[in-house]
Amino acid sequence: MESLRGLGAQAVAAGLLGSGDGPFDLVRVAAVGALGANVINNLPAYLALEQAAGGQARLAALLVGVNVGSLITPWASLATLIWHEQLRRLGVRISWWGYAAAGLILVPVMIVPAALLASLA
């Protein structure tokens, strides 16, 4: 992460996250976190965006985004991959397409109210 920051990643992250602590600002932070989690995984996404996030409410919204948002794609969280493998061993079949479809429906429904609650932090 330090190498990426040295290359200007923090300025890019700050531009993506915007500024402010209003409800729409926090939803934006959560949405960027969710997108980052699905592109590079939730932990690296959090680490890449953390310093640019800012205050307590914005960090809470970022945590919501990278953790709830990672429910869209299976590779967005190591925990998802581990659970999937365990379920497979137990004979429970879950389609990755079904998982992603459910995530695309549920994640926005969960992220918006959770990010708004972050404004109370």
Average pLDDT estimate for 32-59: 91
Asked whether the predicted pLDDT for residue 73 surpasses 70, the reply is yes
Q: CA dist 3 to 10, 48, 107, 108, Å?
A: 11, 11, 31, 32
- The answer to whether 65 touches 33, Cβ cutoff 8 Å, is yes
pLDDT level of residue 53 (50, 70, 90 thresholds): very high
Q: Span 38-57, mean pLDDT?
A: 91
pTM confidence score: 0.85
Percentage of the residues of the chain whose pLDDT score is greater than 90: 40
Least confident of 8-22, 31-45, 82-96, 102-116: 8-22
| Confidence check: pLDDT of 59 > 90 | yes
Q: How high does pLDDT run on average in the chain?
A: 87
